[in-house]
Amino acid sequence: MKYHDTHFHLDLMSNPIDIVNQIEKSKVYTIAVTNSPKVYFYTENITKNTKYIRPALGLHPELVGERHQEIDKFISLLSKTKYIGEIGLDNYNKSPVDYKRQVQVFEKIISECTNFSDKVLTVHSRKAENDLLDIFGKSFPGKVILHWYSGSIKNLEIAVSRGYYFSINYQMTKSKNGQKIIDSIPINQILLETDGPFTSLGSKKFTPLMVDSILDKICHLKKDYNSDKLKNVILNNFYDLIQN
């Protein structure tokens, strides 16, 4: 099984073209998320001849306040890719006006994505898990990946029951809350993410070439499972995600 990274900000790296070449050489399946429709074009262009990288169409919740007018462009681009992200909600230290606009934009995105059956969404949910789950509802037809989930176990269990995946990064494996969350996720719903360049290993920004360190940490935390078997399950989850 090949490694994967379901949440990587390629366009925000200092050397994106070099990283593209490294990912292709190392054969790491990578979802390159973007923060706005305008950025999507750049990522699409530098990855158009790649085998292992897929650009994702995004509108980051923390940028909705200044870029909400891009929602029409976002919707017009939906047919260009099955990968959507980074999208979602963020209610950490946000004003009521900002958060209300986020909700409106996210509702529009999910409504439009419901018209397709094959979308793979990588979703931000900080301090907004209740609203996010309500907006998705019980029968969203696409695949949902909750990126860097930090909410309650109760909401986690709801997401698990709906078949959502959870992408785990290195920082999650180091915190007590992250470890509690990882312990609560069934192994067949775990995926890997770096969220580079927003995460680091020492002084080195995470890239998809470093996901093996995340997988090793997950195996260390999930001590009740055989390490080789667990690695195989987690790596195979990505194939289930994109093929089913």
> What is the per-residue pLDDT for 1?
76
Tokens at 125, concatenated: 């949910």
> What is the per-residue pLDDT for 206?
98
Annotated binding site: 7, 9, 86, 124, 147, 195
C-alpha span between 169 and 166 (Å, rounded): 10
Instruction: Count how many domains the chain has.
Output: 1
What HEC string does the chain produce?
CCCEEEEECHHHCCCHHHHHHHHHHHCCEEEECCCCHHHHHHHHHHHCCCCCEEECECCCHHHHHHHHHHHHHHHHCHHHCCEEEEEECCCCCCCHHHHHHHHHHHHHHHHHHCCCCCCEEEEECCCCHHHHHHHHCCCCCCEEEEECCCCCHHHHHHHHHCCCEEEECHHHHHCHHHHHHHHHCCHHHEEECCCCCCCEECCEECCHHHHHHHHHHHHHHCCCCCHHHHHHHHHHHHHHHHHC
Q: In which domain, by residue range, is 203 found?
A: 4-243
> What is the per-residue pLDDT for 132?
98
User: pTM of the predicted model, to two decimals?
Assistant: 0.96
> What is the per-residue pLDDT for 244?
63
C-alpha span between 234 and 220 (Å, rounded): 14
Beta bridge partners of 29: 4
Q: Digits of tens for pLDDT over the chain (244 positions)?
A: 799 999 999 999 999 999 999 999 999 999 999 999 999 999 999 999 999 999 999 999 999 999 999 999 999 999 999 999 999 999 999 999 999 999 999 999 999 999 998 999 999 999 999 999 999 999 999 999 999 999 999 999 999 999 999 999 999 999 999 999 999 999 999 999 999 999 999 999 999 999 999 999 999 999 888 899 999 999 999 999 988 6
CATH at 211: 3.20.20.140
Annotated binding site for a divalent metal cation: 7, 9, 86, 124, 147, 195
> What is the per-residue pLDDT for 223?
85
